[in-house]
Structure 1
């Protein structure tokens, strides 16, 4: 396999709980302060806790890592009519804000780039706003029996839903709720003419979107790409569904790669990066945060269960990336892990890394989910931005402290070193890898190097 065309990261943007920009995100990661708290009442009212997973359409957790105002949008500045803005999915709103930050930090003149060479690829896997927008219609039809029979208690509850202040459907509803419009609204608002589409690979969506954008640049089908992922939780659907499979942390804290890990915490967030071919970025004097030098992806295929990750499937993604860069083992200074904090997820990822990392090295291992939670379709993109910023600065942010230093026993006598505060101090970061593994078996692995680091021979 020939070497992959190297891609430059020329701008970054991020939003998550506790941070409204990429700079704030970096400061948050350096502080290592988890952003977990009760679900804001503005999202939904707290409901009784499930007695055990899968019972009564209830969740045993009412904790998340929320952004401050998911509906924030300067519609007038973006020349979006008020009637349309009122019906826009907050994920569209977040994508617009992120793009604004992204372009402000780049040298690209959008006004001179309307001939169609800037593409947008964004990971989106949930559309809570679509559920909210159609709630009144569905409630009415369930109440009168149009969608089938339901219990009297259920019908009474639905009457309450149908009477809530949910905006009626209008001509602006469909463009406001469809997943494809998250990418399309970026193109239309900034008058870009390249291809635009969303990617759904569940939790791997954001990193798969970045990988796909790199492919567009490598093939010459675009000269610049906006890529990443967004996620906003507006209903308890994800809490309930992940409670049913026991994936949420009952203690409300995400502790990846520790012996105390008991699940993840759901978080809002989004991240976008601006990508260009390295030679073009250098020619035009762009700021380069990091360079993507290897990419790989795979599927777990027929796993023991549709939700069960496999080390073989994950290793295939890493090995594809290694082959594309002419390497046999993963030689990096740090790995930003998928790191959900679930027992099976962490165990499988550590097993994967132990098989591919240079056994003579000491490689830092961390996961931003310990601070900002699991941001679903955005998680891989936020991990990528963390790695890109770390490479630009030459240092890795620490993981939150673990009581008693109780890291996973799998890390003992391995080349993997928990990225605790003492371990990251004075340790230069020249190369880093990013993992993202999706619900359903999609795996993605990217390797980046710092802007001043020479390519491998």
Structure 2
């Protein structure tokens, strides 16, 4: 008999809010996090804007040595992990640290450090003088490692990497380890700091990013006939997953329940999704099966929807196929506001689903004024304004380069 898994804590730093509460309020307002890039001079780049963190200084959260020794993606992970632990009311001195683990995701790892150090070497004298923290700072597993070190968590610890499905993959693995009895508490999520010259330039070369430099705030426009690519974002999200009876025994406030997850592969293309959403469709069906739910049970679906010409329609075809007849379903694409946080996207979008359940509200799809004619009929895409409604079950879709699909289902907690 599998054990039940609940959410008891959350943390988030995003381009539209540096706490879960501020992030959620901005989502409901339809607030855009897009603005001109400040991390570097973007003059010679096709895309000159992104969704950066606002009014953020890592030293407001971490001591000087933590900032110096860690790439920004690790810094973000440490910060949101701390928020989630505090939100869960975890007293780590009374917690079995051997039964408490960390599964953390990042798609790019320390690309900021890698780019900085290699650039310094290439433009210098040629003498190899690298920072002694160069290698540990770029390792993609270092966020999970440093979170476990900071908080003394000695259980299961590793990193998931499935491109833009990464954050959901981490949540799924944490969910499974708890319900299989191999852990009592897991900290899961993802963090990403990809707003660098190499990252923006590389995605420009793929023609994946929007180039609407004069309309930055509305450039991410999922499902719109004029969409031309995604907007890069940065930040992180963390969830505390806990076995139900363990949470009850310590008097934890239970926020929601994780009830099902699934992963599939398109096995189709290096960067493009399957045009009919075949892998996404199977993933959604398998997640429902895992949860013991029907398509008609789902009230809200947070779509992966990155605002790319091919990806959005393929996903909507899959959603229409799975949820045809579910007239109460609201779909929305919150990357229209946050931008695309790559490996951290699944984590903050899981938080979005949980907040929708907690507050009885569906955040909007922003910036979409001319819906594509290819959108299947009968889908409510929650365009422009949030919707107040009871949300008992919410689904989060995330898909990544390489054909990775990861889907998670969350439900209002019931005894």
Give TM-score scaled by structure 1 length. 0.83
2:392 alignment partner, one of 402, 422, 430: 430
Q: Secondary structure at the match of 2:223?
A: coil
What is aligned with 1:329? 295
Q: 1:381 to 1:4 in 2, by over 3 A?
A: farther
Which structure 2 segments of 5+ residues have no match?
A: none
Q: Secondary structure at the match of 1:308?
A: coil
Give TM-score scaled by structure 2 length. 0.91
What is aligned with 1:22? 20
What is aligned with 1:139? 122
User: Is residue 152 of structure 2 the alignment partner of residue 185 of structure 1?
Assistant: no
What is aligned with 1:225? 186
What is aligned with 1:6? 4
Tell whether the 8 Å contact from 2:163 to 2:342 is kept in structure 1 after alignment: yes
Correspondence 1:17-166 to 2 at 5 A: 17-40=15-38, 43-48=39-44, 59-68=45-54, 72-73=58-59, 82=65, 85-113=67-95, 115-126=97-108, 127-136=110-119, 138-139=121-122
User: Is residue 410 of structure 2 the alignment partner of residue 448 of structure 1?
Assistant: yes
The CA deviation at 1:426 is: 3.7
Q: 1:34 to 1:4 in 2, by over 3 A?
A: farther
Residues of 2 paired with 1:200 and 1:172: CA distance? 22
Q: 1:316 to 1:136 in 2, by over 3 A?
A: same
The CA deviation at 1:408 is: 3.2
Tell whether the 8 Å contact from 2:35 to 2:51 is kept in structure 1 after alignment: yes
Q: Secondary structure at the match of 2:236?
A: strand
The CA deviation at 1:419 is: 1.3
Residues of 1 paired with 2:333 and 2:287: CA distance? 20
What is aligned with 1:149? none
Residues of 1 paired with 2:266 and 2:255: CA distance? 32
The CA deviation at 1:47 is: 3.0
Q: Secondary structure at the match of 1:418?
A: coil
Q: Secondary structure at the match of 2:264?
A: strand
Residues of 1 paired with 2:384 and 2:412: CA distance? 21
User: Could you say what the CA RMSD is over the residues aligned between the two structures, in angstroms?
Assistant: 2.4
Tell whether the 8 Å contact from 1:14 to 1:25 is kept in structure 2 after alignment: yes
Query: Deviation string for 1:346-371 (max 9, x for gaps)?
Result: 01100111111141423111121100
Residues of 2 paired with 1:183 and 1:173: CA distance? 17
Q: Secondary structure at the match of 1:11?
A: strand
Residues of 1 paired with 2:60 and 2:118: CA distance? 26
Aligned length, in residue pairs:
407
Q: 1:235 to 1:70 in 2, by over 3 A?
A: farther
The CA deviation at 1:5 is: 4.4
Query: Deviation string for 1:50-85 (max 9, x for gaps)?
Result: xxxxxxxxx41111000136661358x66xx73x64
What is aligned with 1:400? 366
Correspondence 1:169-180 to 2 at 5 A: 169-180=130-141
The CA deviation at 1:446 is: 1.1
Q: Secondary structure at the match of 1:417?
A: coil
The CA deviation at 1:283 is: 3.7
Q: Secondary structure at the match of 1:267?
A: coil
Q: Secondary structure at the match of 1:298?
A: strand
Which structure 1 segments of 5+ residues have no match?
A: 49-58, 147-161, 163-167
User: Is residue 240 of structure 2 the alignment partner of residue 274 of structure 1?
Assistant: yes
Q: Secondary structure at the match of 2:270?
A: coil
Q: Secondary structure at the match of 1:296?
A: strand
Tell whether the 8 Å contact from 1:435 to 1:445 is kept in structure 2 after alignment: yes
Residues of 1 paired with 2:335 and 2:2: CA distance? 29
Q: 1:223 to 1:256 in 2, by over 3 A?
A: same
Residues of 2 paired with 1:358 and 1:6: CA distance? 29
Residues of 2 paired with 1:250 and 1:402: CA distance? 16
Residues of 2 paired with 1:4 and 1:438: CA distance? 29
Q: Secondary structure at the match of 1:274?
A: strand
Tell whether the 8 Å contact from 1:19 to 1:28 is kept in structure 2 after alignment: yes
Correspondence 1:258-297 to 2 at 5 A: 258-297=224-263
User: Is residue 311 of structure 2 the alignment partner of residue 345 of structure 1?
Assistant: yes
Residues of 1 paired with 2:18 and 2:174: CA distance? 24
What is aligned with 2:201? 240
Query: Deviation string for 1:279-311 (max 9, x for gaps)?
Result: 33234332222211111111112x1x3112121
